[in-house]
Structure 1
Amino acid sequence: MGSVRLPKERIPIIIGKEGLTKKDLEHLGDVRILVDSVDGSVSIDQRGDALKANLAVNAIQAIARGFNPEIAKTLFDDYMQLIIIPLREFAKPGSRRIEEIKGRIIGRDGKTRKVIEDLTSTKISVYGDTVSIIGDYVSVQYSREAISMIIAGKKHRSVYQYLEKRVKEIKFRKIEETFG
Structure 2
Amino acid sequence: MPNTEYLKIPRERVGVVIGKNGITKDEIENLTKTKITIDSEAGTVAISPTEETEDPLSVWKARYIVKAIGRGFNPEIAVKLMGDETILEIINLPDYVGKNKKAVLRQKARIIGKEGRTKDIITDMTGVDISIYGKTVAIIGDMEQIHIAKEAVEMILSGVRHKTVYAFLEKKTRDMKIKQFHRIAKDETDLE
TM-score calculated relative to the size of structure 1: 0.94
Q: 1:9 aligns with which of 8, 12, 16?
A: 12
Task: Give, in angstroms, the shift of residue 20 of structure 1.
Answer: 1.1
The amino acid across from 1:109 in the alignment is E
The amino acid across from 2:134 in the alignment is G
After TM superposition, the runs of 4+ consecutive aligned structure 1 residues lying more than 3 A away are: 172-177
**2:93 alignment counterpart:** 87
Distance 1:32 1:173 in 2: 40
Q: State the percentage of identical aligned residues.
A: 38
Do structure 1's residue 157 and structure 2's residue 163 form an aligned pair? yes
Change (3 A) 1:95 1:38: closer
Do structure 1's residue 72 and structure 2's residue 78 form an aligned pair? yes
Larger deviation, residues 43-52 vs 124-133: 43-52
Change (3 A) 1:174 1:58: farther
**2:117 alignment counterpart:** 111
Distance 1:41 1:164 in 2: 41
Aligned residues between the structures: 179
Spell out the pairing of 1:31-180 with structure 2 (5 A cutoff): 31-47=34-50, 48=53, 49-174=55-180, 176=183
Structure 1 spans left out of the alignment, 5+ residues: none
Distance 2:70 2:156 in 1: 24
The amino acid across from 1:6 in the alignment is I
Structure 2 spans left out of the alignment, 5+ residues: 188-192
Distance 1:92 1:168 in 2: 34
Residue-by-residue CA offset, 1:57-111 (whole Å, 9 max, x unaligned) = 0111100000000000000011111000111111233352111111100111111
**CA-based RMSD:** 1.7
